[in-house]
A and B are shown apart, each in its own frame.
Chain A
Amino acid sequence: MNELAITVIGRDRPGIVADVAEVLARLGANLTDSTMTRLRGHFAMTLICVGPSAAEVEAALATLTADGQLLATVREVTPDGETAPAGEPYVMAVHGADRMGIVAAMTRVLTEAGGNVTDLSTRLVGSLYVVVAEVELPPGAAEPLAVRLTEAAANLGVDVTLRPAEPDLL
């Protein structure tokens, strides 16, 4: 069984998900994990699916990308992509006036503290830039990290908060 990493991006229009998913379903490609969202008017999909070969999927998606409106990439990945949980889940929120290097600087601080970013999104609206990241932290790392994040944020002229994202078991 092949595991494939697929990306599709293009100017947003109704039907992109249905079109791509239909192509994959016809090939017997089982769509496992995926994330899809609209970014500045482009619809972006990142998918992992299991089933056919990369060449088969590439050929089938070519019918959708032929008009140049969608861009698709397909590559085979090793199925053993699971990583062990690195620690405790936290959410870092950053907001402030847009400038170069906010994501780079803030994620570098996270990395240096042994944190692993598992999800991140950014939005720019007007001059306001917002970063929200899910991060796994080693036990005991949160408090000193919060101090370093605050310093890094001050240098960038933005605000940052770090809070635990522990779920309540019900």
Chain B
Amino acid sequence: MAAEAYAGLGAWTPEALGAGAVLPVVSAPHTVLSRAGAEVDPTDEETVRLAADLIATMRVSPGCVGLAAPQVGVGAHVFAVNVTGHPKAVTVHGTFALCNARVVEATRWKAGREGCMSVPDLTGDVKRASRLVVEGALPGSGELVRLVTDGFEARALQHEIDHCAGLLFLDRVAGAHAIYQRKVYL
């Protein structure tokens, strides 16, 4: 697909997905977190429901700015993100879900300390691109979108895309002494 076929989020809102259910979040070492998720049909009813469930679960989880399908036990290439109001966020696209997303451009790598709902007792220093271009499909319409973002939203997108590929932040830590016992719980 040529790049010009992709657009931003446009008029898409999460309400288009309908109300979702809050699902339990699984923790490592659950095997679903270590397997690459399957590509999905973004127009499929099941995908739409999954995206709605991810957004519903993300909304009720304190401090959660992103949630990927493997984290609710589903090995699929779908995730939800919302970094609205985060102090490190610069560009913010609001609440959205993407299917089959991939990174097409990643620059300006910066280290930051990450925690994950699925790894509740550890944090780690991970280098991520702070300028990012991501392409994926919107659940429901299946419309292809190209998001250009930066800062914290870029970090969140990379973290969720990793989840869809079966990778945790633990797979990307900067070194042997870059993992820490998590001390503060939200």
Hey, which bits of chain A sit against chain B, CB under 8 A? 35-37, 85, 87-89, 118-119, 121, 134, 136, 165-170
Contacts and interface: CB of A to CB of B under 8 A. Distances in A.
A101 B115 CA distance: 35
Contacts of B177: 35, 37, 119, 121
A9 to B, nearest CB: 17
Contact of B113 (A87, A121, A136, A166): A166
B144 interface: no
Interface in B150-186: 152, 155-156, 159-160, 169, 176-177, 180-184, 186
Given A85-B184, A88-B184, A165-B113, A170 B159 contact: yes
Main DSSP-derived SS at the B contact region: mixed
| Among all A-B residue pairs, the 9 with the closest Cβ atoms | A167-B123, A167-B115, A170-B159, A167-B113, A85-B183, A169-B63, A169-B115, A89-B183, A170-B66
A166 B115 CA distance: 9
Interface in B87-117: 88, 112-117
Max chain B C-beta neighbours (<10 A), residue from A89, A119, A166, A167: A167
Nearest to A170: B159
B127 to A, nearest CB: 14
Contact of B180 (A121, A134, A168, A170): A134
Interface in B1-29: none
A89 B113 CA distance: 12
A168 B112 contact: yes
Given A88-B183, A170-B116, 14 more contacts: A85-B184, A87-B183, A89-B180, A89-B183, A136-B183, A166-B113, A167-B113, A168-B65, A168-B88, A168-B112, A168-B155, A169-B64, A170-B65, A170-B155
Contacts of B180: 89, 119, 134, 165, 167
Contact of B115 (A118, A134, A168): A168
